[in-house]
Amino acid sequence: MSNIRDIAKAAKVSVTTVSRVLNNHPHVAKEKREAVLQAIQQLNYHQNISAVHLSRGKTMVVGILCPFINHSYYATLLEGIAEKAHSLGYKLMIIQT
C-alpha cells in the first residue's frame, strides 16, 4: 500500500505538495497538481480514513446505544437523529444493547 511519501517521490514533488493536493488546497501549481493526481492513479493510492480522522482530531461519527432498534418508539427516535446528523454531515454508529 502506497503512502504520501511514495506519491511525492513518483510525482517529483514534496510531501507538503501531495498533502495540499489531497486536501484540495488552492495554492498548488496546475502542473504539480496534475503530476500528483497522475501518481495517485498510477500507484492506486487510497487515503486511510482512520489516519485522516486521527490527524484531524474528529471522526464526524455519532455513536448511539439503543436497547431495541425494531421497536417503533426507538425507530422513530433513530430516524429523527439520522436525519439531523445527515444534514450536519455526520454518520451514525448504532449499537443495540
Spatial separation of the C-alpha atoms in residues 5 and 52, rounded to whole Å: 15
- CB 14, CB 22: distance < 8 Å: no
Half-sphere CA count of 68, side-chain side, radius 13 A: 7
Q: Do 10 and 51 fall into the same domain?
A: yes
What residues have CB less than 8 Å from 78, skipping those under 6 apart? 64, 66, 69, 92, 94
Q: Give average pLDDT by consecutive 10-residue segment, the chain, 97 residues.
A: 93 95 93 96 91 86 92 94 96 94
pLDDT at 48: 86
Query: Do 66 and 82 share a structural domain?
Result: yes
Residue 90 lies in domain: 60-96
Tally of domains in the chain: 2
Q: Which helix (H) or strand (E) holds 37?
A: helix 30-42
The pLDDT of residue 61? 93
CATH code, domain with 49? 1.10.260.40
For residue 91, the model assigns a pLDDT of: 94
Question: Do 51 and 13 fall into the same domain?
Answer: yes
As a whole number of angstroms, the distance between CA 31 and CA 26 comes to 13
